[in-house]
Amino acid sequence: MIPSKARRTASVAARLLVAVVLIGATQLSLAQSPTPAEKSIEYRQALYKVVAGNFGPLAQSAQGKLELSPAAARKHADRLAAIADFTRDAYPDISREGKTKAKAGIWTERAEFEKLLDDFNSAARALAAVTAKAGASPEDFKAAVGAVGNSCKGCHDKFREK
């Protein structure tokens, strides 16, 4: 049988060990938590993955590489138009630096960048309008998809690292 003083010492030692482990785990967890800038960049990157996930099938369809039903094209175009407006909030000042391909010009040439975001939003809404028309021609669809693609390219050429 273990004497009571030895049991108390063992109990205190066990509690101390648990406390040290918990403090260490908490410190490790805090060290791995993303910063506000990292969270902002992650948000932006996730947003553009959703943009690509909806624009990709539309672009493939316009190029004749994928057959989309009118309902599927409209669904992707409607989503793209809704998501496009989110891009306006995806570039807060805190996200200037970090693991990103965004160029500094986004923040130093903000008016020009905002104009390109407006172009993207307008083109996405126009594409959604074309896909909503029952009588829209394939040429109208291709032109609207091309306008969205050109708005993306214009921004990437100026404000995105390769």
Is the same domain home to 39 and 1? no
Q: Which ranges in the chain belong to alpha helices (H)?
A: 4-32, 36-62, 70-84, 105-108, 110-132, 138-159
Cα(55)–Cα(78) distance, rounded to whole angstroms?
10
Report the predicted TM-score, pTM, of the whole model to 2 decimal places: 0.79
Handedness of CA 69, 138, 151, 116 (dihedral sign): negative
What does the pLDDT profile of the chain (162 residues) look like in tens digits?
555 666 666 565 556 555 556 676 556 555 689 999 999 999 999 999 999 999 999 999 999 999 999 999 999 999 999 999 999 999 999 999 999 999 999 999 999 999 999 999 999 999 999 999 988 999 999 999 999 999 999 999 999 998
For the chain, the domain total comes to: 2
Is the same domain home to 142 and 66? yes
Listed in sequence order, the residues at least 6 apart from 99 whose beta carbon sits closer than 8 Å to its beta carbon are: 38, 41
60 Rama sector, left if φ>0, alpha if ψ -120 to 50, beta otherwise: alpha
Cα(107)–Cα(37) distance, rounded to whole angstroms?
14
Is the same domain home to 96 and 146? yes
Token couple for 44? 């932006």
Cα(15)–Cα(61) distance, rounded to whole angstroms?
64
Residues of the domain holding 73: 35-159
Residue 42: CATH number of its domain: 1.20.120.10
